[in-house]
Structures are given as C-alpha cells and as structure tokens.
Amino acid sequence: MPTAFTPTLDTVFSALADPTRRAILSMLLEDDMAVTDVAEPFDISLAAISKHLVILTRAGLITQEKRGRVKWCKLEPDALRAASVWMQGFGQFEAVNLDAFERFLAVELDPPKAE
C-alpha cells in the first residue's frame, strides 16, 4: 500500500535527474493523462514508464488516481517548492557576501525572474 511518502530533496532531485521523467512532467503540464497515453510518445516499454511514474509519485511530483481500469496521472508542482527554495539559496550570489539567511531574505523580497 502507498504509505505516506515524505518527499525529500533526495527523491525530488533524483526524480528530476532523468530526462524521460522530466519529459513526462512536461507532458502533464498540459493535462492529466492515463498511463498508456503517457507512454505513447516514448520508445520504451509500458512497464518502464510505469516504474518512472512510481518514482515521480514517491517524489510527490505527481499523484495517480485510478478510475475504472484507467489510472490518471496528475502533476503536483508543489513538490518542487522545497527544491526550488533550496536552489534559490544559491542563486542570488552577487558580489555581496551574504550569509544564507540574508540571502534568503533578499530572494523573498526580490524574487528572481526566470528569464
């Protein structure tokens, strides 16, 4: 049974490290999809896709809901927040010599625009 997974930076970053999984996430940005439809554009087996979806689920990046015999995959972008925050701790790295907390405040007051 799906015990309550507690996504960590480890699981999130390693889930994101695979290009197939990132592509799946991008697809789910458009809309929820069934497992078979997720698999369709890829050249690998359905079982392999199923495993990727398990990994994304354990990372909290998607949820899956079974309706009838179809399992729908839904993006959960909130799971990226902790990782994003972690990275932003490094992002504002100007010449100023800020410690981690000051840097965080700077990010919070003036969030970087993803250009």
Supply the minimum distance, in Å, between the C-beta of residue 56 and its own copies: 12
H-type helices in 40-99, by residue range?
Answer: 46-58, 80-91
Q: Is 5 in the site for its own copies (CB under 8 A)?
A: no
Decide: is 16 part of the binding site for DNA (CB under 7 A): no
Residue 77: strand, helix, or coil: helix
**8 sits near its own copies (criterion: CB under 8 A):** yes
Given the rule CB under 7 A, which residues bind DNA? 14, 17-18, 20, 34-37, 43-48, 50-55, 64, 66-72
